Amino acid sequence: MSIELKNIVKRFGAFSALNNVDLTIADGELLALLGPSGSGKTTLLRIIAGLDWPDSGSVSFDGENALARGAGERQVGFVFQHYALFRHMTVFENVAFGLRVQPRAIRKDEASIRARVKELLDLVQLDWLADRYPSQLSGGQRQRIALARALATEPRILLLDEPFGALDAKVRKELRRWLRSLHEEIHVTSVFVTHDQEEALEVANRVVVMDKGRIEQIGKPGEVYDSPATAFVHGFIGESIVLPVDIQDGVIRLGGTPLNIAAECGAAGPSKLFVRRHDMQISPPGWGGLEGTVRRVRSFGPIQRADIALSDGQGETIIEIDAPRDRELRSGEVVGLQPRRYRIFADRT
């Protein structure tokens, strides 16, 4: 089922949690909502699920107005940020809940309910936990039970709010891969929230980056990483070196020193130069731009990470770069730095 959000505004008192959010999600898509804490991700999911209503804007599922329908009628499976399992029910009953509360006319008989729950527990590979209570499960197990519960009634949309939030890195990776393959298997339109960029880039077909209640960029994982649309996205996805520069007549200056790189046409005034750590190339001093002194070098695997003190006129700025190991850096050495790829955004602050 496709989802269309138009011009969603949501306020809590004077605070705007969502500002004019527009988003279209295609049928069968696996979309990641990525953003820092407090950016409105949960609020957006809750509006899609019918647990909150926007102050203005529209939500439609397959072209039908969803706002006219309550949470129970939207056929949305919601996996909550903090699981929200029913603590007084066994795992089995938790998963069976959605089936047991169906209107009598469509409710399945006990045997089919049992069969369906069994099937779901097998799917999340936790059938051996059927008789436990939620308090007797580990975080990862609770997460998967919450997912099984949400899937029981065959929702047409699946919303996952930081499904792997509370888990350690290894289990996260496992579940991430598992979610990906689950989606390939059942193909339900899914939105999952995360503030872990790696997770978003690895699992999703498309990534939506949010900040302060606004959508900053929507794109394929590669796009948001390689061509960030805004300074925020560049800084948030992947680590970046950020340098304050000034542009006049197409010349970029860092602390008065002109840099020998081209400005995008039209750019002028105070701006920010964004370069990925591995896009900063070491070159002989005097190439006509950035120069600095190597302070500290750490080598691991194929790269060496160096702290370099830039002399930018007003004092020192220390940046971290990743360089290949073909040329060993020594501390104290003066090197030239040439951004191989970079982006410039007007400084709005």
Name the residues that contact other proteins, by CB under 8 A: 49-51, 70-74, 76-78, 80, 82, 84-89, 97-98, 101-102, 133, 135-136, 149-150, 152-153
Q: Which does 78 bind (CB under 5 to 8 A by kind): other proteins, ligand ATP, Mg ion, none?
A: other proteins
* Calpha distance 134→84 (Å, rounded): 10
35 touches ligand ATP by CB under 6 A = yes
The window from 13-21, 36-44, 54-62, 170-178 that contacts Mg ion (CB under 5 A) reads: 36-44
CB 38 within 8 A of CB 210: no
Give 170-204 as a DSSP string: HHHHHHHHHHHHHHHHH--EEEEEES-HHHHHHH-
* Residue 89 vs 251, nearer CB to other proteins: 89
* Residue 154 vs 328, nearer CB to other proteins: 154
Count of residues that bind ligand ATP according to CB under 6 A: 12
CB of 17 to ligand ATP, least distance (A): 4
Please state, in angstroms and as integers, the Cα–Cα distance from residue 137 to each residue in 33, 122, 131, following that order.
Answer: 27, 16, 11
The window from 31-39, 136-144, 253-261, 291-299 that contacts ligand ATP (CB under 6 A) reads: 31-39
CB of 304 to other proteins, least distance (A): 45
* Residue 42 vs 338, nearer CB to Mg ion: 42
For residue 262, the 8-state DSSP code is P
Give the number of other Cβ atoms within 10 Å of residue 172's Cβ. Answer: 19
* Residue 46 vs 276, nearer CB to other proteins: 46
Among 5, 39, 167, 290, binds ligand ATP (CB under 6 A): 39
Q: Which of residues 289-328 bind Mg ion (CB under 5 A)?
A: none
In the block, tokens 């060993």 appear at 328
Please state, in angstroms and as integers, the Cα–Cα distance from residue 216 to each residue in 86, 87, 207, 213, 343, following that order.
Answer: 36, 38, 11, 9, 16
* Residue 42 vs 94, nearer CB to Mg ion: 42
CB of 134 to other proteins, least distance (A): 8
Among 40, 77, 155, 221, binds ligand ATP (CB under 6 A): 40
β-pairing verdict for 251-254 and 15-25: unpaired
List % helix, strand, coil for the chain (3-state, nearest 5): 25, 35, 35
Crossing angle for the helix pair 169-186 and 139-151, nearest 10 degrees?
Answer: 10
Count of residues that bind Mg ion according to CB under 5 A: 1
